[in-house]
Structure 1
Amino acid sequence: MGSCIICGTSVDGHICDLHEEDVLFEFRGDHPNQLTTNRYYRGSVDGFAEFGVFVDIGDRVTGLLHRSELDQRLDSLDWEPGDTVFVKVKNVRDNGNIDLGWSIRQAEREFRGTLIDDPEFDTARLAEDVAEDESGNGREEPAADADSEPSPDEQAVEATTDTDSSPDDQTAEATSDSEPLGDDQTVEAATTDADAAKVSQADDSERVERSASVVGQGSTATAESDDTSADAESDDAVDHQRDHPVVTVDSLDDHEGDDVRLEGEIVDVRQTSGPTVFELRDETGTVDCAAFVEAGVRAYPDIVEEDIVRLDGDVRRRRGEIQVETETLVALDGDERQTVADRMADALDDRARPAAVDALAEDPTIEALADDLVDAATAIRRAVITDRPVIVRHSATADGYVAGVALERATLPLVADEHRRADAQYHYFDRRPLEGGVYDMQDATKDVTNMLENRERHDEKLPLFVFVAAGGTRESLDGFDLLDVYGAPRVVIDDAVADEAIADSVDTLVSPSLAGASPTTATALAANVAAHVNEHVQDDLVHLPAVSFWDETPASYLDAAAEAGYDEASVTELRDAVALEAYYQSYEDKRELIKDLLFGDDEDDVTGLAGNVAEQFREKLATEVDTATANIEHEEIGGTTVAVLDTDAFTHRYDFPPSTILLDELFRQADSETDALVGVADDTLFVRADETVDVHDLADAIDEAAPEAAVRTRSAREQSIRFLSGERDAVIDATLAVVGERF
């Protein structure tokens, strides 16, 4: 029996089932059937094809990473033949073909350990065990890289200590006539304590190359000397430490190859099969700092997350990313700790609070909500700065998508600037659509499950949830309550008529209705928040509010879009195209297509792609409108004309357009004598009217008239109501009576 290298659970081998996907495997076999599915393997790029990338995993073992598995376009992948990459083995087919999956982790240090998958053994083995076996068989150890640290023998220095040191404090006595140190013993550095010197033992030069040597982590040696000599050496050590310039994380690119000092907070600690990786954050950014004492052994065990520390180390570039190889790491306390903490807190407040920016266009609603917009932007900026993932949940509508993309456009560059990981933009930001603009228990349960798993497996902070064109009404309260149990922060930016209870359930709320401001779109709100999040992308956002209006677009937004190169026809093309793709991407969103629609690179044809997609939108919508119009029935109730459409019988239920878009268009085209439109499905009805519909009040009235139907509001944003399908006829009669009375 062995133990899991991550959690310590007793297992056959070195990794438990729970953490098998957290480690990296090196394959030593020569046949596809020897691979284990759902493991992540190191590989090298063999070549490219139109449909994907071929990756060599082992001797004569090559798999295909299909382009559908990539999180970006194949032609934008910056891999070259021979590059080391990391992939997941998803399936090994009967014919030996290997289906590979994408790994968001593309650096070895992002895994929590490395194991050797050798078919000659029953279980995966530790890399150091394999190295020892190979060394014992007369095989030479790999030579260190040219830019690696000097070997332990080259680093050996003589340590002297006060002759008064007690025997208990001495693990090796060194005097002028003592025996020389063994070949495998080195003294890493002089200690700052004049009474002792720290000595570490290294097995070979490869260990030093793999990571930073750790002062104070090895064995201890003492030597006889007089007080004057000891004091002089201590002073020299202190002076040497002072020679390290104090720098900030954002300046490390300028200090590659230099010894530097950093001061900041430890925000994450990861133990790999080699070094311990401390993620340090200061007032300017974060960086990984590797500390090595022994393979798989925790360096500086007293240093934990949230410690304020001083770290000295050597700035290196590993696999294209800057990291610091740690020489010394000390937790600060007292006045020193407070000074650094205060400096970081002040800098965080300054950085999180956005600069003053002008509104994207003249809009009284935006002016009335100015403080709320700044608060929402501050929450997003603070999350990015403090390594908290940002998850945007938006309604699966044109307005919801454009609003969500506005925040994405502003936030992603900040994430890239803040984090040095190549995959940071996918790790620290996500955008997902919501059905009906409601955050119900099903959505919340999925999000909570994911965030808890990420916290357990990857030590992630709980994310900041930003709800756009969603979350403003009481249907989302249960979902918010579940997030609140775990303390996940929440921001809501919603143009719908909001319920006051929402204000008590979220940290920040941007709502025109609660502020007594005029109605607008969620995009108008979110795009102005985005301009505060990142003032450098403001020019990219100017045309977005105009795209989000279906009719009666404010002239100020049309003028702003025109100045940005989008005339009214172009704005309409964009809206229609996004509406179509919003429907088809409502369950699995991809960034690239919506981004290409809204931010086309062709200045002479800003809606080239959108024009093609918008044409499909118009054709599909026109066909459904013609069919539905021929089957609308009109009811006269107390002087009110109500149009009724059976949406189950006279629409294509699983194709575009959805009932919401179809009914909106039907009501826009209805003659002036039609006061209201009711669409009825098997267990759902939709209401459209010239007057503002209080769907909660309407549902209560229908429920009172049809008490057996269990009538409930489904989505205030969609103006939809749910009921028991067995009571459909009773609900239709009750709805017509209530609508006829009110409209």
Structure 2
Amino acid sequence: MGSCLICGVSVDGRICDSHQEDVVFDFRGNSPQQLVSNRFYRGTVDGYAEFGVFIDLAPGVTGLLHRSELDRRLDSLDWEPGDDVFVQVKGVRDNGNIDLAWSIRQTEREFRGVLVQDGETDRDPDASERDTDDSADHDSADHDPTTGDHEDDESPTEASADAVAEDATAEDATASDSDEEQAAETDTDETEQAAGDEAAIDEETERDDDGSAESESDDQRERVGVETLADSVGDEVRLEGEVVSVRQTGGPTIFEIRDETGVVDAAAFVEAGVRAYPDVEVGDTVRLDGEVESRRGEIQVETEALAVLEGEDATTVSHRLAEALTSKARPEGLQPLGGDEAVAELGEGLLDAAEAVRRAVLESRPIVVRHPATADGYVAGAAVERAVLPLIRDEHAKSDAEYHYFTRRPLEDPVYGMDAATNDATRMLQDRDRHDEKLPLFLLVGTGSTVESEDGLGLLSVYGADTVVVDAAVADPEARESVDTLVSPELASVDENLSTTALVASMASAINDDVRDELVHLPAVSYWENAPDRYVDLARDAGYDVERVAELREAIALEAYYQSYQDKRELIADLLFEDGGDLVAHVSEQFREKLETEIDTATENVVTEAVGGVEFAVLDTDKYTHRFDFPPTSLLLDDLHRRHENGDAFATIGIGTDELYVRTSTDVSIRDVAARAAETAPAADIDTAGLREGKIEFLSGERDAVEDAVVAAVAEQF
């Protein structure tokens, strides 16, 4: 029998059941089944996967810390392979898989003791196993509310841990007596600390008649803006603003506070994992007193008092925030890139869209950008990203805010359907319920304007999520009713050769004029052919000649295909904005090699026929393309049609198992083609799947009938 190193009670080992989570264990076993659920263990980062981080707890014993267990985005985690980290074991499955949980405590000194687990036996660490790095005691001042770190003042828990360490190395016969004395001291210290905490909480939450918190400095402190906090580290300050999110960590409660100048995290600590100020909710107008601290390069406030404002005080703060929001959100005006008159015709709509994006940033509302997985789609999405990320960095003190408040999710399908909408709705509801986040603004570029997206947009509208659609395609009436802001050439009777990027790049320059010069070459990149001279000239003036623009387009198209559902933020940014030439040239060379191989095969297997005075080139895409390798069918047929187009009455048809693509030398309504073909082949369940892609879907058993019906319907349109 031994005694618990925390409370001193008699136990079979070195820790009682009630204090298992107060110490950290170094695992020296060789089997996952020896691990104890809910214990905290020291581990080593083995590597990353899309769904989480693998942590080695011992040689041959590796667990998964799933991304859903993190209190931040996986891509903002600054762990590197080989780093020592601390995690909690949630459980071990029958197959030996280890499920891990996030630990807010990421240094040894934040725990109340250290033990070694040899197999199923717990013991004190040997002297050679102890952490002798005293520099950890000096890497921050005072108390870190996110970790519990102290520097100058030794806390009761630290005193307890130090005493335990001394007991563990003592080699005299009075060890058990020392344990009892240690337990008594710890109990006394914890009782005094608890009493002090309760008194502090009572003092902080005591309210006067107008609902504000009592404080000795209530009349002396002057309100400051969040934007000034970087110059006030170590000072006691007062903030007034709105609570935009509340996160409960394993340690403090984190309140994200927004005023008219920015957003900052405020940590409030009662005890580990306990919600501080439970009556304070997202959307409340509050007054906060606290001390400004810099933790790992990020500004935060350690809360001393937090009160919900009421009456005139709340109204004053709300008006101040609203006025600042209105003045900041609306861009001064729209200056179309290259002086494009067609874009200028859509100026008011683009300004409305730009205002919605800027307002979301200022309101600390996440922004989700959806775009097709095409060159035009990726370039348009990257233009918005380039404009918005600096605004988020300026607004938020947290270094990883740009990953938290901006997400770009490419669409594998050409429309915003129920699959994508269900994914988005699930994520936003999880973030709302688990992290008290506001519902995001959904910005759809190059998709969402046609009836095929109506069901998906309708799902978002049920939950009240704001949606903005900017699309160079002609909008359908059904789409207009499902979104808050819609920008489409049809709305201004614009009949122009516009790409989505041509619209979005001008909108992005209105969102953030500081990046305008970085965007001028993007419209030219988005055109596969017949790029307007104004955009070609803009790109050339920015240092991108015709050959360079073509290489960019090809490189983006290739990367857009692979893992099309991923944003590839850093890679796309390198290609479009940072590359000196080597990366783009390397990727575009792969594009050309792969495309030429497919074009050669397709050309040899095209069947030509004339129907109704129209020459058709028909390709069986099931037999004569690599369906699961680059290039995708749509891009292949685009290039095949451009190369083999012969006169004004020419069409290319690519038909597979249950889908068909149409390319024509003149404007043809794909909806009319589908409707006419459905009359001819009523059993085929023919329907349009994407107007811009000229895509039609049907039942595979009626393939031959569909081919004949579509060819006849296309011929009628010429």
- TM-score above 0.5, yes or no: yes
- Deviation, structure 1 residue 596: 1.3
- Other-structure match for 2:319: 342
Q: 1:561 aligns with which of 539, 558, 579?
A: 539
- Other-structure match for 2:653: 678
Distance 2:61 2:391 in 1: 37
Q: 1:463 aligns with which of 440, 459, 466?
A: 440
- Other-structure match for 2:523: 545
- Deviation, structure 1 residue 58: 6.6
Deviations along 1:296-316, whole A, 9 cap, x unmatched? Answer: 444333322222111111112
- Contact kept, 8 Å, 2:245 with 2:435, in 1: the verdict is no
Q: 2:555 aligns with which of 548, 565, 577?
A: 577
The TM-score with structure 1 as length reference comes to 0.75
Q: Compare the two structures and name the one with the higher helix fraction.
A: 2
RMSD: 4.6
Distance 1:29 1:37, change over 3 A: closer
- Contact kept, 8 Å, 2:244 with 2:256, in 1: the verdict is yes
Q: 1:732 aligns with which of 707, 710, 716?
A: 707
Distance 1:359 1:86 in 2: 52
SS in 2 for 1:147: coil
Q: Does 1:248 align with 2:193?
A: no
Comparing 79-88 and 431-440, the one that deviates more? 79-88
- Deviation, structure 1 residue 498: 1.9
- Other-structure match for 1:654: 628
SS in 2 for 1:634: strand
Comparing 320-329 and 481-490, the one that deviates more? 320-329
Q: Does 1:306 align with 2:283?
A: yes
Q: Does 1:722 align with 2:717?
A: no
Distance 1:42 1:396, change over 3 A: farther
Distance 1:652 1:38 in 2: 49
- Contact kept, 8 Å, 2:25 with 2:39, in 1: the verdict is no
- Deviation, structure 1 residue 396: 0.8
- Other-structure match for 1:482: 459
- Deviation, structure 1 residue 330: 2.2
Distance 1:316 1:624, change over 3 A: same
Deviations along 1:164-197, whole A, 9 cap, x unmatched? Answer: xxxxxxxxxxxxxxxxxxx9999xxxxxxxxxxx
Q: Counterparts in 2 of 1:138-153, with a 5 A limit?
A: 147-148=142-143
Distance 1:38 1:672 in 2: 71
For structure 2, list consecutive stretches of 5 or more residues without a partner in the other structure. 1-16, 119-135, 144-149, 157-185, 208-213
Comparing 319-328 and 373-382, the one that deviates more? 319-328
- Deviation, structure 1 residue 255: 0.7
SS in 2 for 1:504: helix
Q: 2:586 aligns with which of 609, 612, 618?
A: 612
- Deviation, structure 1 residue 504: 1.0
Letter in 2 for 1:723: F
Distance 1:218 1:378, change over 3 A: closer
Distance 2:583 2:73 in 1: 18
- Deviation, structure 1 residue 324: 1.3
- Other-structure match for 1:193: none
Distance 1:732 1:386, change over 3 A: same
Distance 1:91 1:684, change over 3 A: farther
Distance 1:466 1:26, change over 3 A: farther
- Other-structure match for 1:698: 673
Distance 1:649 1:56 in 2: 45
Deviations along 1:98-132, whole A, 9 cap, x unmatched? Answer: 9999x9x89669xxx999999989xxxxxxxxxxx
Q: Counterparts in 2 of 1:90-101, with a 5 A limit?
A: none
- Deviation, structure 1 residue 246: 1.1
- Contact kept, 8 Å, 2:23 with 2:114, in 1: the verdict is yes
Q: Does 1:202 align with 2:193?
A: yes
- Deviation, structure 1 residue 45: 7.0
SS in 1 for 2:492: coil
Distance 1:72 1:719, change over 3 A: same
- Other-structure match for 1:369: 346
SS in 2 for 1:243: coil
Distance 2:74 2:154 in 1: 46
Distance 1:274 1:670, change over 3 A: closer
Q: Does 1:449 align with 2:426?
A: yes
Distance 2:600 2:707 in 1: 23
Distance 1:439 1:691 in 2: 27
Letter in 1 for 2:540: A
- Deviation, structure 1 residue 545: 0.5
Distance 1:27 1:705, change over 3 A: farther
SS in 1 for 2:339: coil
Letter in 2 for 1:202: Q
Q: Counterparts in 2 of 1:47-62, with a 5 A limit?
A: none
Q: Does 1:216 align with 2:211?
A: no
Distance 1:115 1:681 in 2: 65
- Contact kept, 8 Å, 1:322 with 1:420, in 2: the verdict is yes
- Contact kept, 8 Å, 2:47 with 2:55, in 1: the verdict is no
- Deviation, structure 1 residue 477: 0.5
Q: Counterparts in 2 of 1:260-275, with a 5 A limit?
A: 260-275=237-252
The count of aligned residue pairs is: 630
- Other-structure match for 1:318: 295
- Deviation, structure 1 residue 87: 6.8
For structure 1, list consecutive stretches of 5 or more residues without a partner in the other structure. 1-12, 15-22, 122-141, 155-182, 187-199, 221-236
Residue identity (%): 50
- Deviation, structure 1 residue 345: 0.5
- Contact kept, 8 Å, 1:354 with 1:378, in 2: the verdict is yes
Distance 1:742 1:60 in 2: 69
Deviations along 1:45-84, whole A, 9 cap, x unmatched? Answer: 78999xxx99987799996999x9999999x996689977
- Contact kept, 8 Å, 1:153 with 1:185, in 2: the verdict is no
Q: 2:603 aligns with which of 621, 629, 646?
A: 629
- Contact kept, 8 Å, 2:366 with 2:441, in 1: the verdict is yes
Distance 1:511 1:314 in 2: 50
Deviations along 1:416-461, whole A, 9 cap, x unmatched? Answer: 2222233222221111111242111111112211221222222222
- Contact kept, 8 Å, 2:26 with 2:41, in 1: the verdict is no
Deviations along 1:606-654, whole A, 9 cap, x unmatched? Answer: x321111111211221222222122222222222222211111221211
SS in 2 for 1:513: helix
Q: Counterparts in 2 of 1:25-36, with a 5 A limit?
A: 27=25, 29-31=27-29, 33=31
Distance 2:73 2:266 in 1: 29
Distance 1:258 1:431, change over 3 A: same
Distance 1:305 1:694, change over 3 A: same
- Other-structure match for 1:600: 578
Letter in 1 for 2:262: G
Distance 1:81 1:609, change over 3 A: closer
Distance 2:697 2:55 in 1: 54
- Other-structure match for 1:189: none
Q: Does 1:359 align with 2:354?
A: no
- Other-structure match for 1:393: 370
SS in 2 for 1:325: strand
Distance 1:80 1:725, change over 3 A: closer
- Contact kept, 8 Å, 2:46 with 2:55, in 1: the verdict is no
- Deviation, structure 1 residue 682: 1.2
- Deviation, structure 1 residue 376: 1.0
Distance 1:301 1:563, change over 3 A: same
Letter in 2 for 1:411: V
- Other-structure match for 2:10: none
Distance 2:22 2:537 in 1: 54
Q: Does 1:588 align with 2:579?
A: no
Deviations along 1:334-390, whole A, 9 cap, x unmatched? Answer: 211111100000101112212335322121111111111111111111112212111
Deviations along 1:12-57, whole A, 9 cap, x unmatched? Answer: x99xxxxxxxx999555443645879999786878999xxx99987
Q: 2:469 aligns with which of 472, 492, 497?
A: 492
